Structure 1
Amino acid sequence: MPKLIRLYITQCLIGFGISAVFTAGLICFDVMGLQRLVLGSSDGILGAFLIFFSNGIVFAGVQFAISVMRLKDEDAPRGGTRLPLLAQPVRVEARVKKG
């Protein structure tokens, strides 16, 4: 498996793990009455899953972005030798309107 794909999968798993802890914390501490809503409604499990999944997507994206930005750049030279740009004089005809 390519290194970048492995990196993406591991960062997604970490992001969804953080989301699980975050969602459990929201429900456990009854933030904004969320525990009563989830446990008191027949569709509460669906709501908890949607909170988990949406936060998982966000946290996984952030995890992957941070890990990609921290990757080491290759030190190999790229693009060959650059030559300096030298200005070359060019003859331009000037036209003047009379009167």
Structure 2
Amino acid sequence: MPTMIREYIRSAVAGAVLAGCFVAALLALDVAHLRHLVLTDEAGGLAVLMLVAFNTLLFGGVQFAIRIMGQAHTPSPPEEGGGLAGTLHPAALTVAAEAPPPTRRI
């Protein structure tokens, strides 16, 4: 299995765990009377399922982004006199100055 697919699956599982914990905390703390709404409405189970599903997408995507960005590395600077760029020197430029255009007063 390719490495990126494996990382994505791990991120999705981590996102599902985080989403389950987050929704459980929302319901346990009764934020905005959400527990009351879920328990008294006939579509409460669907609401909880949607909360978990969409938070899984969110947290899984964040986990995947963190893992991908964590794999980036900064290249080491080239040694003195070596590397692709070599030694850089500033370029001297001469520019002829032009007179500004005359301004007209109205």
Q: How far is 1:74 from its partner?
A: 9.2
1:67 aligns with 2:40: no
SS at match of 2:42: coil
SS at match of 2:71: coil
The letter of the residue matching 1:52 is: V
The corresponding residue for 2:2 is 2
- The two structures have a TM-score, normalised by structure 1, of 0.73
Structure 1 CA distance for aligned equivalents of residues 74 and 33 of structure 2: 50
- The two structures have a TM-score, normalised by structure 2, of 0.68
SS at match of 1:42: coil
Once the two structures are superposed, the pairs formed by residues 1-99 of structure 1 within 5 Å of their partners are 1-73=1-73
Q: CA deviation digits over 1:65-96, x for unaligned, max 9?
A: 00000014497xxxxx679xxxxxxxxxxxxx
Structure 1 CA distance for aligned equivalents of residues 22 and 62 of structure 2: 15
User: Alignment RMSD, CA only?
Assistant: 2.9
Q: How far is 1:16 from its partner?
A: 1.1
Structure 2 CA distance for aligned equivalents of residues 55 and 72 of structure 1: 26
Structure 1 unaligned residues grouped into runs of 5+: 76-80, 84-99
Percentage of identical aligned residues: 35
Q: CA deviation digits over 1:23-79, x for unaligned, max 9?
A: 01101111000000111111000001111111111100000000000014497xxxx
Structure 2 unaligned residues grouped into runs of 5+: 76-83, 87-106
Structure 2 CA distance for aligned equivalents of residues 66 and 74 of structure 1: 16
The corresponding residue for 1:86 is none
Runs of 4+ in 1 over 2 A off after TM superposition: 72-75
